[in-house]
Structure 1
Amino acid sequence: MSRFAKKTFFTSLALMALASELMAAPLPLPTSGSASAPKVPAVESTAPLPNWSVTRTFEQLGRPTDTLLLGINSAEQVEFTLRRDRIASDASLQLNYTPSPSLIPTLSHIRVYLNEVLMGVVPIEKEQLGRQTQQKIALDPRLVSDFNRVRLEFVGHYTDICEDPANNTLWVNISRGSSLTLQEQALSLSNDLAYFPLPFFDPRNSGKLELPIVFAADPTLGEQRAATILASYFGSQANWRGAKFPVLFDALPSVQNKEATQPSVVFATNDHRPAFMSDLEKFPAVDAPVVELIDHPDAPYSKVLLIMGRNEEDLATAAKALALGGNLLRGSRVTINKVEELQPRKPYDAPAWMRTDRPVRFAELVAYPEQLQVSGLQPRPITLDINLPPDLFVWRNQGIPLRTQYRYTAPSANDDSRLNISLNDQFITSLPLTRKDTSRLEELRLSVLSNDSANVNDKLIVPSLKIGDRNRLRFDFNFASTMGSAQRDHCQTILPANTQAVIDEDSTIDLSGYHHYLSMPDLKVFARSGFPFSRMADMSESIVVVPSKGTATQVSTLLEAVASISARSGYPAFGVRLSDDWQSASKEDADLLLLGVMAPEMRDNPDLSLLLQRQHDMLVQPYGNTAIDATNRRGPSIDGRNQPANRVEVTAQAPIAAMVGMQSPSHNQRSIVALLGNDDADYTLLRDVLTDSSKMDAVAGSVALIRSSGIYSQLVGDQYYVGNLPWYLLMWYQLSEHPVLLAILAVISVLLSAFLLWRALSWAAHRRLHKE
C-alpha cells in the first residue's frame, strides 16, 4: 500500500470514529429564546405500517369480456392504478387462459410484461391445449407506480413450415376472471394540506369513495349546506366511481385497530362543535375560516380534516376554498381570507357536458393521451364520449355536422381497408382507406331524420340516429393485408407493416343552434344527468328541502344526492340552497329537491301518483301498468295509457323508498324531484341507489319504487314541458302526433291559398279590363 493510500485510510478511520462519538452524545436542546431553532421531527414508531391485499379481476379493470389473442392481433394490455399514498410490497398475476388445441406445445407461449419490463414467459404445454388453465406469475413490486400496464403477448405456432400468421387456429383466450393481486402498504404521510385532496380522495383509486362526515348533534342548515358543498366537490371528482358519506354526530369514526387508514372530515363552529372538540386549549376558537389537518387520536395513520369557523358562513367559505383553491394549500393549518365569485355560471355550462354554442374540437373531448391514435392490423376502436344536456331538442333537424380528419399508414394496394364510423352502436358510414390518400378530410352530417338505413351515395347521407344525453362516437380502422402464402412448394412469409392510424385532434362536431325543450316529468334525465338541477352547474337555481331535524342517515342521503348530481355535471354545487320550510321554498322560482316525506298541502295534488306514510302507502297505476314505454319519447303521448286508472293502498312494515317527479305548483317551468322515505331503513335503500350508477340507470318515468327486490319505474299523469321553442317549430312539434288534424289543416291551408290566389288573379283581370 502506498504512503498516500495509508494516509487516506487512517484519515477515514478517524472521521468515522469522530462521527460515532457525535452520534452517541446527547444533542443540546434549544433554549426558549432561540427564534431560529430548527424543528426536530418526531421519532417515527417502529410498528409496522398498515398493509393489506387487494385483488382486482380483469373485468373490474375494464375488460367486461374475455380477450382473444390472435396471430395478427397478438397483444393486449390491462391498466391498473395505485394510490399515491400507498406502495406495493408484493404483486402477482393470476392468468386464466385457454389455448387453441392446434398449437404446437412449448414453441407457443405467452410473454408477460409489467410497465414494459419482461416479468416471465408462460409456456403452453401439451396437456393445456383446448383446456382452461391457471398460471400464477410473480410481478416485481418495485416497478409498480401510480399508473401501470400489464401487457400480454401471444407467440403461437401451428406448423413448422410455411406458417400463416392470419391462420384462424392461432389463438388463445384470456379470461376476464384473470386477476391482479397487490400487497399494498400505507405510507406515513405528514399533516400537509399541499397533498389535498389526498388522503381523502385519489383519482388513481378506481373504487367507490367513502368519506365519513362528522357534525355536532343536530347540525344546523348552514352546517349541512357547508358539508353539501364539500360533498359535491368530492362527488364531482369521484365521477363514475360513486361516493358515500356516512354521517356521525359528536364522535369520530371508530377504529378497530391503530393501523386503520380511514380519513374523515369534521365541521365545527365556535358555538357548535362535536363533543371531542370541547377542549378549548387543544381546539381553540377561531376568528376566521380555518382548515386544519390532524391525526386521528386513536389511529395515527388516519387523518382528520377540521373545517372550523366563527359561524355557518365561515364553514361554507372554507368548503368553497377547499374546492376552488386546493393548489394554494400548504402546511397543516390554513386560514381562508376570501373566496369571491368573479363571474356567475351560465345555463348548460357544466364541465361534463359538451359545449353547444360552437363547434367543438376532438382535442376538447379526449380523456387521456393517445386516445385518438391506434396501431396494428386489427387496432382497437377509437371512441369518444359525448355528454349532452338531456333537453337538447334535435327533432326534425337536418343533421349534426361532423368534420373528421384522419391519417393512416398507406396500404400496399387499394384493397378492402376501410374506416367505419358509428354512433351509439348505430352504423353511420364506411370510408375507403386508399393507397394514395394517407390524409383525408370528411364532412358528414349525423342525421336525426327518419331516412332509410340503406341510403348511401356520394354525399354520404347517413341513417337516422337518436342523439341522447350520453353518446359514444366510434371509429374503426380495418386494414386488409396479404400476409403470405402457405403453399409448401412456394413458401412466402411477409412481415406485417407497423400500421398506424390517427383521428386528428382538429376534427370537430357541431351541436350549436339547437333549442332546449323537454317533456317532463322524466326521472331518467335526473338519474343520468342530474337534470333539471344540473342545468345550472353550481345548482344556483335549486333548493333542497330537508327535514327540520334530520337524522344521520337523512343527512347522508342529502350529501350523496347532491354529490351524485355534481358527479354528472362535473362541478361542485356552490350555489345550492337548503330549506326546511316547504311553503316558502315552493314559492321560489327554483327547482326543488325534496328529501323526506311529502308536504301535507301536496298530497291532494292531482299529479301526485305515490304517497309513502307510516300508516299506509298509496300508489296510482296507469292503464295496463305499462306506461314506462313512453319514458324515452320526445313527443306528447298519443293515448291515455299513462293516465291514472287505479289506486292501491297497502300497509306493510318492510322498508320502501321512492323517487317521484312532478311539476312545481307555483312555476310551470320548474320541477320537483322528491326522494321519499320514512325511516333510516328507507333512506338506506335510497342511498344504495344514489351511489350505484347501474341502479340509477333503472330509474325512469315519473315514479320509481325502490324495494329490496329492485327498482320498479312507471309513468303516470299528465306531461309538461320545460324550455322554449319558436312558435312555428312548437306548432309542428305539437301537431306531429296528430296526423289527421295535420292533414285537415294542410287541406284548409291549400284551399285558403287557392282562394286567395283566385281572388288575386280575379282582381288583376278586373283591373286590366277596366284599363282597356
Structure 2
Amino acid sequence: MKSPYPIKHRWLAGLALLAAQTLPAALLAATSENTPAPRWETRHSFEQLGWNTDSLLLGIRSSDQVEFRLRGDRLATAAQLHLEYTPSPSLLAGQSHVRVYLNDALMGVLPAQTGQPGQRMRQSLPLDPQLLGDFNRLRLEFVGRYDDACPDPASSALWLNLARNSRIELTQQALAQVNDLAYFPAPFFDERDYARLELPVLFAATPTLEEQRAAAILASYFGSLAGWRRSSFPVHYQQLPPVRAGQPLLVLASNERRPAFLQDYQRYPRVESPVVQLIDHPSDPYGKLLLILGRDDADLVSAATALAMGGELFNGQRVAIERPPQPQPRRPYDAPNWVPTDRPVRFAELLDYAQQLQVSGLKPKPISLDLNLPPDLFAWSSQGVPLTTRYRYTAPGSADDSRLNVSINEQFIASLPLAGESARQGPSELSMALWMGTRDRERDKLLVPALKLGEHNRLRFEFDFASLLGSSQRDRCQTVLPVNVQAAIDEDSTIDLSGFQHYIALPELRAFARSGFPFSRLADLSQTLVLVPSQPSPTQVGTLLDALAGIAAQVGYPALGVRLSDDWRSAAGVDADLLLLGPLPAAQRSGQDLSALQQLPRSWLTSAAPQAEAASDEMSATPLAAIVGLQSPFHPQRSVVALLASSEADHALLRTTLGDPGKLDAIDGSLALIRDSGIASQRVGETYYVGHLPWWQRLWFHMSERPLLLASMAALSVLLLAWVCWLLLRLVSRRRLNAH
C-alpha cells in the first residue's frame, strides 16, 4: 500500500523526546507505575500491506518495497522481519544476498542461497524500533551472481521470489492522550491502522428511532472512513461493556435518558444544546469515551450530523453546537468513491497517492487505477468506453519492440508501440532539451470494452521495454548496465462514461453486496427507509449499524439522510427503497401487504435448502440467515432488500457476512442463504427493471431477448409494408387508367 507522506527519521532520545518528535505534542508517554501501559503484538503480512502477489526480483529489477504506518496513540518498542523467499537454483551461495533497509537505513544482509539450491527459505531479522515513525518503508534489494564467466543482468537464471506471506511483527504499547477533539477522528479511528475497526456503542436503554438514526449516522461516518478495513459496532444498553485496554467507545445520551455512569448530574450536568464531549474512560486510563449529548433525540441527530460533517474541525474537550449544520442535497450517482458518469474524468481525480502514475526501471511494475462504477450502467450494444491516454517515457535509442500494454480487469485491450529517438520528427525534437530524452505526451484514444466493466474495476498500464544488455564472445566479456528508464501516464488522461444510461435488472443482490445498490444511488441514503423492530435487541441494533456502515464504506459518504421506521404500513406512503431488518414484530405480520413478503422468503428458504424439508427442527437450531431482494409492493421503481435473522446466533452470522469482503463476493441473485458452512445464492422470483432508457432503446433491448418473437414481428412488418406498397401501387394504377 502506497502513502503520500514522506519518510520521517525519528530517533529515540528518551520517551518524552520520541513523543515530541513522532506524535502530536498533546500525546504524552505513559509513565505511571501503578497503571502499566497495555501492549499489543501485531502482525502485518506483505499481502495485508498491499502485495496482491509474490514479488519476483530480477537482475534488472532488483528491489521492491513494502510500506506500513503506525497508529498515533501507540509506540513501537520492538520490530521483527520474517522473510520468506525462494532463490534461483543457479545463484552462487557466497556471492548472492538480500539487503534489508528500513527507512533507508541498512538493517542487515540475508543470504540468498543456503543448503539445497532453489529451496524455499525463511529468515528473520530484527528491525530497529528507534527508526519507526508515522510512515515507514521497508526496502529489499537483491544482489545475485550465477555461475557464469560473463554475467548478464537480464539473464533468466538471475531471480529471487519474495513470498507475499512474509510479515512484519511489531510490539507496541499505548500512549496516554489528552482530551482534545482537535485530533478527531483519532483515537476512535486512525487511518494508519490496518485492522478492522471495532467501535462499541452505548445507549441508556432500548433506543428510540431517532437515537438509532443518530447512531446510524455516526456508524456510517466511521464506516466511510474505514473503507476497505470494514467496521463493526457492538451495541450495549445501560452499562459500560467490560474493559478492553485502550478501546474507545461511543455514548449517546439525552438529558432524561442516560446510561448509569452519566446519571451523576453534578459531574455531567444537563445540556442546553447538542454537545460533543471527549472524556476519559471511568475504568481505563488509556480508553476514551465520545459523548453525543442533547436535550432530546433531535439534538442527538444534530450532534451526530455535525460530527459527521465537520468533526475534524472541532477542538477542545467539549463542543456545543449552536447552529446544527444542514447537509446539502446529493445528486444521483455522485458518491465520492464512484467515478463520475456525467463528464470525462481526469486520472488525477482517481489517484490514491502521489506518484501513482510514475514508474522506473527496465522492467517496471504496472501502473494501476481503480475504477468504482455504479452497478446500473447500461452498456448493452455499446461500442466501448472512450479512454484518452497521454504518456511519457524514456525513448529507446533505436526503434525496437518496446510497447505500452493496456488492460482492464486482466483483460487485454490494446498494445501501443513506444517509438525510439530515431522516430522523432518536427516539433517533438524541439522538446528534447526540456524532457531530457523522454518522449513527450504521446496520446492515444482507446475504447475500453463496456461489457468487461463491473462495479469494481482495475485499469492497468504496463510499460514493456525491449533490452539488449549483455553479450559474450570467445575470450571477450561485454556487459552493458541498463539506463535509468522512466515512464509515466499523464494525469490529464481521461476516461469518459457520460454516454451511458442507468438501467438494471433487479433483484440483484450482487449489486447490494458490492455497491450498496439501490440505496447508494444517493450517497447520503436520503431515498432509503430502514424498517426496524419496535423493540430491538442490542444485536439487532448492531446489525443496523453494521449494514449502514458497510454501504457507507462503498460510497465514501455518511448516511446523513437515512430514515427509520418500525411501522410497515407507513412505508406505503414513502417513495423510497426499503431496507428491512428482521424478524418483524408480530403486529406487523398481520398486514396484507406484508403477508406476501413473509411467505416469499419462507418458500425460498425451503426450496434453496432441501435438507430443511426433512429437518426443520435441526435448521432452527443451526444459525441461519438470509438476504432477500424483491420489488417494492408500493412503488414499481423501488426495491426491498431484507436482512432476515431471528436468533442472536443468526444475527451474529449475518453481521459476520456483512463485514467479510470474501463472503460478500459470494452473494448473488435474489436470495442468499447464509450458514456456517457457506453462502448459497439463488435467482428466484420475478425480474423487474429500474432506471430509464429511451423508448426505442428499451424496446429493442427487451425484444433482443426474444429472437423468435422479434423474427415474427420482422416478418409481419415486411408483409404489412408489402401490403401497403401494393395498395399504393394499385391506387396509382387506377388514377392513371381513369386519366386516360
| Pairwise same-fold verdict (TM > 0.5) | yes
Q: What is the CA deviation profile of residues 411-437 of structure 1, one whole-angstrom value per residue up to 9, with x for unaligned ones? A: 122111111111111111111111035
Aligned to 1:288: 273
> How far, CA to CA, are the matches of 1:586 and 1:114 in structure 2?
61
Aligned to 1:517: 503
What does residue range 13-28 of structure 1 map to in structure 2 within 5 Å?
Answer: none
SS of the counterpart of 1:621? helix
Structure 1 position 719 matched with structure 2 position 719? no
What amino acid sits opposite 1:416 in the alignment?
A: D
8 Å CA contact retained: 2:605, 2:673: no
Aligned-residue identity in percent? 57
8 Å CA contact retained: 2:604, 2:671: no
SS of the counterpart of 1:547? coil
Aligned to 2:653: 685
What does residue range 351-500 of structure 1 map to in structure 2 within 5 Å?
Answer: 351-435=336-420, 436=423, 438=439, 439-448=441-450, 465-500=451-486
Q: Tell me the CA shift for residue 606 of structure 1.
A: 7.6
What amino acid sits opposite 2:267 in the alignment?
A: K
SS of the counterpart of 1:665? coil
Aligned to 2:427: none
Structure 1 position 610 matched with structure 2 position 598? no
Aligned length: 687
8 Å CA contact retained: 1:419, 1:433: yes
In structure 2, do the counterparts of structure 1 residues 271 and 509 end up closer, same or farther at CA, with 3 Å as the change threshold?
Answer: same
Aligned to 2:24: none
1:65 to 53, 57, 68: 53
Aligned to 1:319: 304
Looking at CA atoms only, which structure, 1 or 2, has the larger radius of gyration?
1
Q: What is the CA deviation profile of residues 488-522 of structure 1, one whole-angstrom value per residue up to 9, with x for unaligned ones? A: 43321111011111111111111113211111111
Aligned to 2:136: 148
After TM superposition, the structure 1 stretch with the greater mean CA deviation from structure 2, 553-562 or 395-404, is 395-404
> How far, CA to CA, are the matches of 2:258 and 2:286 in structure 1?
24
8 Å CA contact retained: 1:90, 1:184: yes
Aligned to 1:265: 250
Q: Tell me the CA shift for residue 385 of structure 1.
A: 0.9
1:567 to 540, 553, 566: 553
Structure 1 position 163 matched with structure 2 position 162? no
What amino acid sits opposite 1:474 in the alignment?
A: R
2:717 to 746, 749, 752: 749
2:81 to 93, 97, 100: 93
Q: Tell me the CA shift for residue 90 of structure 1.
A: 1.7
8 Å CA contact retained: 2:394, 2:485: yes
> How far, CA to CA, are the matches of 1:606 and 1:746 in structure 2?
41
Aligned to 1:540: 526
Aligned to 2:13: none
1:174 to 162, 168, 189: 162
In structure 2, do the counterparts of structure 1 residues 485 and 665 end up closer, same or farther at CA, with 3 Å as the change threshold?
Answer: same
After TM superposition, the structure 1 stretch with the greater mean CA deviation from structure 2, 172-181 or 560-569, is 172-181
Q: Tell me the CA shift for residue 79 of structure 1.
A: 1.5
Aligned to 2:492: 506
2:632 to 657, 664, 667: 664
> How far, CA to CA, are the matches of 2:595 and 2:298 in structure 1?
37
SS of the counterpart of 1:610? helix
What amino acid sits opposite 1:428 in the alignment?
A: I
1:230 to 202, 212, 218: 218
What amino acid sits opposite 2:532 in the alignment?
A: V
Aligned to 1:193: 181
8 Å CA contact retained: 2:30, 2:37: no
> How far, CA to CA, are the matches of 1:166 and 1:759 in structure 2?
80
8 Å CA contact retained: 2:347, 2:494: yes
Q: Tell me the CA shift for residue 178 of structure 1.
A: 1.6
> How far, CA to CA, are the matches of 2:668 and 2:114 in structure 1?
53
Q: What is the CA deviation profile of residues 313-347 of structure 1, one whole-angstrom value per residue up to 9, with x for unaligned ones? A: 11111111111112320010000112333631111
In structure 2, do the counterparts of structure 1 residues 672 and 421 end up closer, same or farther at CA, with 3 Å as the change threshold?
Answer: same
> How far, CA to CA, are the matches of 1:724 and 1:479 in structure 2?
46
Structure 1 position 650 matched with structure 2 position 638? no
Aligned to 1:733: 701
SS of the counterpart of 2:177? coil
Aligned to 2:32: 45
Aligned to 1:15: none
8 Å CA contact retained: 2:30, 2:176: no
Q: What is the CA deviation profile of residues 23-70 of structure 1, one whole-angstrom value per residue up to 9, with x for unaligned ones? A: xxxxxxxxxxxxxxxxxx999634543222212222222224332211
8 Å CA contact retained: 2:29, 2:175: no
8 Å CA contact retained: 1:607, 1:718: no
Give unpaired runs (5+ residues) of structure 2: 1-27, 425-438
SS of the counterpart of 1:686? helix
In structure 2, do the counterparts of structure 1 residues 82 and 768 end up closer, same or farther at CA, with 3 Å as the change threshold?
Answer: farther
Q: Tell me the CA shift for residue 704 of structure 1.
A: 0.8
Aligned to 2:607: 621
8 Å CA contact retained: 1:96, 1:134: yes
After TM superposition, the structure 1 stretch with the greater mean CA deviation from structure 2, 58-67 or 43-52, is 43-52
Aligned to 1:455: none
Q: Tell me the CA shift for residue 763 of structure 1.
A: 5.5
1:247 to 213, 235, 238: 235
Aligned to 1:306: 291
1:343 to 307, 325, 328: 328
Q: What is the CA deviation profile of residues 607-639 of structure 1, one whole-angstrom value per residue up to 9, with x for unaligned ones? A: 95322xxxxx873538x99xxxxxxxxxxxxxx
Q: Tell me the CA shift for residue 162 of structure 1.
A: 1.4
What amino acid sits opposite 1:482 in the alignment?
A: L
> How far, CA to CA, are the matches of 1:43 and 1:654 in structure 2?
47
SS of the counterpart of 1:562? helix
What amino acid sits opposite 2:216 in the alignment?
A: T
In structure 2, do the counterparts of structure 1 residues 466 and 124 end up closer, same or farther at CA, with 3 Å as the change threshold?
Answer: closer
After TM superposition, the structure 1 stretch with the greater mean CA deviation from structure 2, 751-760 or 651-660, is 751-760
SS of the counterpart of 1:395? coil
Q: What is the CA deviation profile of residues 214-252 of structure 1, one whole-angstrom value per residue up to 9, with x for unaligned ones? A: 001111111111000000000111111110101111122
Q: Tell me the CA shift for residue 398 of structure 1.
A: 2.4
Q: Tell me the CA shift for residue 731 of structure 1.
A: 0.6
1:588 to 561, 574, 586: 574
8 Å CA contact retained: 1:98, 1:128: no
8 Å CA contact retained: 1:387, 1:471: yes
After TM superposition, the structure 1 stretch with the greater mean CA deviation from structure 2, 384-393 or 336-345, is 336-345
8 Å CA contact retained: 1:253, 1:264: no
In structure 2, do the counterparts of structure 1 residues 765 and 225 end up closer, same or farther at CA, with 3 Å as the change threshold?
Answer: same
> TM-score, with normalisation over the residues of structure 2?
0.89
Aligned to 1:115: 103
> How far, CA to CA, are the matches of 2:30 and 2:72 in structure 1?
23
Q: What is the CA deviation profile of residues 282-333 of structure 1, one whole-angstrom value per residue up to 9, with x for unaligned ones? A: 1110000011101111111100111100001111111111111123200100
> How far, CA to CA, are the matches of 1:122 and 1:505 in structure 2?
39
After TM superposition, the structure 1 stretch with the greater mean CA deviation from structure 2, 557-566 or 744-753, is 744-753
In structure 2, do the counterparts of structure 1 residues 764 and 443 end up closer, same or farther at CA, with 3 Å as the change threshold?
Answer: farther
SS of the counterpart of 2:115? helix
Q: Tell me the CA shift for residue 558 of structure 1.
A: 0.7
Aligned to 2:11: none
In structure 2, do the counterparts of structure 1 residues 68 and 747 end up closer, same or farther at CA, with 3 Å as the change threshold?
Answer: same
In structure 2, do the counterparts of structure 1 residues 324 and 400 end up closer, same or farther at CA, with 3 Å as the change threshold?
Answer: same
SS of the counterpart of 1:605? helix
Structure 1 position 708 matched with structure 2 position 676? yes
Give unpaired runs (5+ residues) of structure 1: 1-40, 449-464, 612-616, 626-645
In structure 2, do the counterparts of structure 1 residues 201 and 698 end up closer, same or farther at CA, with 3 Å as the change threshold?
Answer: same
In structure 2, do the counterparts of structure 1 residues 336 and 75 end up closer, same or farther at CA, with 3 Å as the change threshold?
Answer: same
8 Å CA contact retained: 2:91, 2:158: yes
Q: Tell me the CA shift for residue 132 of structure 1.
A: 2.3
Q: What is the CA deviation profile of residues 684-711 of structure 1, one whole-angstrom value per residue up to 9, with x for unaligned ones? A: 0111011111111111111111111111
